[in-house]
A and B are shown apart, each in its own frame.
Chain A
């Protein structure tokens, strides 16, 4: 990795990008790499979304209609893996690439060549993972959590799955190292830590989370690999191991991982709401401390995913209270956003609409999380659709909404073109109505006892499943419409001003033209 450190500094300022396809293969420019990440993420979002459509089509009615149960399980597993590692995480890394150098007044990322590697590993990892769909025994089907011993029954796909995960881990860890190095070493003079925009702060903390937990995940899947092929017995009770140990290691990674997918979203919302409320963010430093405490706490709550494995009472109480404690710093954030809007001169352009929907709907997801954190009731809710509803509220109307909001908010800066505001508003209302039709009924299904990851269900669940599926198809279609809006905005549209939004602040809006030139801040800006 040390060769990557010794990067070459561009001495050809002012030159544009190279021509042709090789520009994208060889590029070390943070804007190009950001674009690659974002487009890749959009492609994976549609690919993973197609799998969700298959799931919802099968669940449209009780009984087995379209696919066989094994393929259904492959769909739930692959949908989750692709959305988590292919759509949400790369989208945030793409935003980090585009925005962090511009927000701290740096000419590029600290390690541009490693940056190129971090991205280009991804298509290979996902090619490996997707190829498993065509293999003997099918794609992985034991759930994205890959619990032993079930996952050890995976067919030929198994080593491909593990290797793909290793690659993804390497890519995210390299991305994280790059982001930390950029933030530590590339800030413009005068850009002190406590002056950094919150998006930079949240990513800084997220990067540390990634470095702490991705290796643990890699270790866990490596143990699965050796258990299957090399006769070890880490998770096999017959050989003296313990399958519950796998769950502990997985969730030691898994819970921080869900925060990896939400902290950068907090940063985005903290950028958008002040702009459209035309007031500075309320409680900046409390936001920073809240983010840090969420990150710390995320390491001591993992067993709330395993209340039903037969933990002793003391353990259940500890993990219950620790989990509930996370709601405190999260609540601080929600209140700060609401206070920022209080008596602000608000307007409701598309990014603001998505940000507002984030605040409301993410909070609903937080509430269902709190319900799940209550150990005795989790015995009822665990592995039902209630859990599915919970994590889709925090991940779709949370993480994904923040990414869409960010796309509308910064696209004019990136492309120099305004998106079509009417189209944006249609996309917003279409998505927001359908996403609630899709996921809200899943709370009812879960409370009534419908298990997750099962292709068939008893007839009393039929009505809400049909409603949910209709919402699902509508939401899927809305995202195709979003792709079209993005395409039109890249191709053309009304010219964006340099500040883009009337209330926008920050170096990228105040010190750079729209579209941003290929090389920006080759001389450091003056920080007020």
Chain B
């Protein structure tokens, strides 16, 4: 190869490689961008059953002709010394009416503990029609040793809930917080 062409080649190598390296950086950024994109996607489509993580303002607008079954599920993330259960397992509610129920949690260990409940709604499409005005899941819950407490949940099923949905299951998983930071 004569030096002429090799010099030209080197220059075009530089341009091309710069472009390719830029692609690498772009894709690295993209991998982190997937985190907020995923949340936004789920929020818009309500696909993964995530409910809002703060209280929402609602207006009562009771639809007396329709009833929806709401089921409550309580889980512990790991077999730690806790008691966690809903007060009632099932309620028949009218869309548009504010309802209240309780969940009971008890720290059965002899030390202070902090825990957090993470909600999930099935079917996922119902998540955005399930409004909570008050929920123990909005904040961390602190427990004294052997303390048990009733924790309130106030919610309303939106009258706009699609007709075909007759049953909504609301599940809480209780996570003990020690090492895990909160985002």
Contacts and interface: CB of A to CB of B under 8 A. Distances in A.
Interface of A: 1-2, 5-7, 9, 107, 110-111, 173, 176-177, 180-181, 184-186, 211-220, 223, 231-234, 236-242, 244-245, 248-249, 252, 310-312, 315, 522-524
From DSSP, what is the main secondary structure of chain B's interface residues?
helix
B38 A242 contact: yes
B181 interface: yes
Contacts, number: 126
A1 B13 CA distance: 12
A186 B10 CA distance: 10
A237 B76 CA distance: 12
Contacts of B18: 2
A234 B35 contact: yes
Nearest to A522: B1
A186 B18 CA distance: 17
A238 B177 contact: yes
A1 B17 contact: yes
Interface of B: 1, 3, 6, 9-10, 12-14, 16-18, 20-21, 23-25, 27-28, 30-32, 34-35, 38, 45, 47-48, 53, 77, 116, 118, 122-125, 173, 175-177, 179-183
B180 A238 contact: yes
A491 B23 CA distance: 43
Chain A interface SS verdict (over half): helix
B125 A248 contact: no
A2 B16 CA distance: 11
Nearest to B120: A237
Contacts of B12: 184-185
**Which 4 residue pairs are nearest across A and B when measured between Cβ atoms?**
A219-B31, A238-B175, A231-B181, A215-B27
Given A9-B1, A233-B180, A219 B28 contact: yes
Contacts of A215: 24-25, 27-28, 30-31
A524 B2 CA distance: 11
Given A239-B181, A245-B38, A173 B24 contact: yes
Contacts of B183: 232-233, 239-241
Given A177-B17, A211-B20, A522-B1, A249 B181 contact: no
B19 to A, nearest CB: 9
A316 B45 CA distance: 15
**A218, A219, A232, A522 — which one has the most chain B CB atoms within 10 A of its CB?**
A219
Given A219-B31, A220-B31, A1 B48 contact: no
A519 B176 CA distance: 65
A233 B181 contact: yes
Given A6-B10, A312-B124, A312-B125, A238 B20 contact: no
Nearest to A216: B31
A251 to B, nearest CB: 12
Nearest to A11: B3
A78 to B, nearest CB: 25
Contacts of B3: 9
A110 B177 CA distance: 53
B35 A240 contact: no
A186 B6 CA distance: 10
Among A5, A6, A249: residue with most chain B CB under 10 A: A5
Contacts of A524: 1
20 contacts: A1-B17, A5-B13, A9-B6, A177-B20, A177-B21, A211-B20, A219-B34, A231-B181, A233-B180, A233-B183, A237-B173, A240-B118, A242-B48, A245-B35, A245-B38, A249-B31, A249-B34, A252-B34, A310-B48, A312-B47
